[in-house]
Chains A and B, each alone.
Chain A
Amino acid sequence: MDRREILEELKKVLAPYTEDKEMLAGVNEQTDLIKDLKINSANLVDIIIDAEAKYNIEIDMDSSEKMVDVKSCIDVIAEKMNVQK
Chain B
Amino acid sequence: MSRRVVITGLGVVAPNGVGVPDFLQSIRSGVSGIRFIPEYQQLNFNCQVTGLPEFEWNHIKNYIPEVALNGLKAISIGYGIKAALDAWADAGNKTDSDQPRWETGCIFGSSVGDTTVVKNVITRVDARESKKLGSRVVEQIMNSGVTAYISGRLGLANRVTTNSAACATGTQAILMGYEQIKHGLAKRMLVGSTEHVDSYIFGTFDSMRVLARKFNHLPEEASRPMSASAGGFVPGSGAGALILEDLEFALQRNATIYAEVLGGSSNSGGQRSGGTMTAPGPGGIVRCIAEAMEKSAISGRSIDLICGHLTATVADILEIQNWGLALDRKGDDFPLINSLKSMIGHCLTAAGSIEAVAVVLQIMHQFVHPNLNLQDPHPEILKMISTDKMPTTMIKKEINTIAKANFGFGDINTCLIFSKYNN
Contacts and interface: CB of A to CB of B under 8 A. Distances in A.
Binding partners A and B: yes
Nearest to B66: A19
B65 A16 contact: no
B67 A19 contact: yes
Interface residues of B, number: 10
B134 A45 contact: yes
Contacts of B65: 19
B423 interface: no
A42 B70 CA distance: 14
B70 A16 contact: yes
A18 B67 CA distance: 6
Nearest to B136: A46
A16 B71 contact: yes
A49 B136 CA distance: 12
B interface, over-half SS? loop
Interface residues of A, number: 11
B132 interface: yes
Residue of B66, B132, B135 with most chain A CB atoms under a 10 A cut-off: B135
B135 A46 contact: yes
A55 interface: no
Contact of B135 (A16, A19, A43): A43
Interface string A52-74: 10000000000000000000000
Contact of A49 (B66, B70, B134): B134
A16 B67 contact: yes
A46 B134 contact: yes
A45 B130 CA distance: 12
Contacts of A17: 67, 70
Contact of A45 (B67, B70, B135): B135
Nearest to A53: B132
Contacts of B71: 16, 46
A85 to B, nearest CB: 23
Nearest to A21: B66
A78 to B, nearest CB: 21
Interface of B: 65-67, 70-71, 131-132, 134-136
Interface of A: 16-19, 40, 42-43, 45-46, 49, 52
Nearest 3 interchain pairs by C-beta: A16-B70, A46-B134, A42-B135
Given A17-B67, A42-B135, 8 more contacts: A16-B67, A17-B70, A18-B67, A19-B67, A43-B67, A43-B135, A46-B71, A46-B134
